[in-house]
Amino acid sequence: MKINSWLKDNTYHHSNFQELKELVDAKNKSGLKISLCIPTLNEEKTIGKEVVIFKSELMNRYPLIDEFAIIDSGSKDRTLEVASSFGADTYLASDILPNLKPMRGKGENLWKAIHQLKGDIIVYIDADIKNIHPRFVYGLVGPLIQRPEVKYVKAFYDRPLAFSDSIRPSGGGRVTEILTRPLFSLFFPELTAIIQPLSGEYAVRREVLESIPFPIGYGVETSHLLDVYQMYGMSAFAQTDLDQRVHRNQPTRALGKMSFGILQTFLNRLVQYNMIQDLDELPTIFRQFQVKDEVFESIEFNIPEDERPPMNTVEEYQKKMKG
């Protein structure tokens, strides 16, 4: 598949789906149920606004969302209290499938949402978006409602690549452009068509989510793209331009930790796909440096990329789906 051809056929702007009554009618005609999940950890400053906007616009005014849940990693602030007060269902990730050894990480929340929620489509939205708008949901579910062959829709936040009479660079954030896109270019060139592969906003059909493993840490978005691509190819993907996204920026040192986790996941996938061989078990210690009294000190961080298995292999989930 040629990248430019895929971009033309599978890249949307959220305004393509802004006629919400028509979108709801199409959803109802197809018999689809849509669940919205926001994974949280100490997000009391932004979660209230997200709940209010999504509830009022996409459940009450236009019933596009059938279920709306916050799945929390154990916030120490008032995240769950605020979300509940505005009408979202709230859950602690540790209370879902409690017989399993607990793990902490965004990927854990996303994975457990598959067990907790009922929708045929699950939409994941990050909790720290300051300019939240209904487009963050309807822009992602639109392609899934209108095109049954599409299985996974990613968000991106830049305007189209051609702007007025000039062309400007466009793409993802720092980790995407320095790490993920070079790796995709080397090993999976078609996946470079995904403009922001690490975006935290995406909508996916249940049968896809339940059939892929979930890293619980930084590698979850990367692993999704690789595994879905291996299973279905590029025709399963679409992406939607959501215009601007305002959120807090991570410091460079934090991005180093993120890159370390992503790289572990990527290399492990290459082994699983038999694309490389004889790779010893990867270390999980990441080292950075700081200077104290003119003396350089090494700081070590243990960043294991543990994974949850495909949800459809979990006995409790199998029983729930049969019941």
CATH number, domain of 283, equals: 3.90.550.10
Residue 265 belongs to what domain range? 3-322
Give the orientation angle of helix 220-232 with respect to helix 106-116, to 10 degrees. 50
* pLDDT bracket for residue 56 (50, 70, 90): very high
Q: Which residue has the tokens 């849940």?
A: 69
DSSP H or E stretch at residue 241: strand 237-241
Percent of the chain predicted with pLDDT > 70? 94
Q: Average of pLDDT values for 14-22?
A: 98
Tens of pLDDT along 168-225? 455 568 999 999 999 999 999 999 999 999 999 999 999 999 999 999 999 999 999 9
pLDDT beyond 90 at 164 = no
Residue-wise pLDDT for 101-124, tens only, equals 989 899 999 999 999 999 999 999
Burial class (CB in 10 A: 0-12, 13-18, 19+), 267: middle
**pLDDT surpassing 70 at residue 162:** no
* Residue 271, SS3 per DSSP: helix
Distance CA 205, CA 20 (A): 20
Q: Which of 40-49, 113-122, 246-255 has the lowest mean pLDDT?
A: 246-255
Which pLDDT does position 116 carry in this prediction? 98
CA nearest neighbour of 272 among 226, 312, 237, 308:
226
Q: Which residue has the tokens 């990329």?
A: 305
pLDDT of amino acid 249: 73
- Strands, DSSP E only, in 73-213? 89-92, 121-124, 152-156, 162-163, 166-167, 202-205
Please tell me the total count of domains within the chain: 1
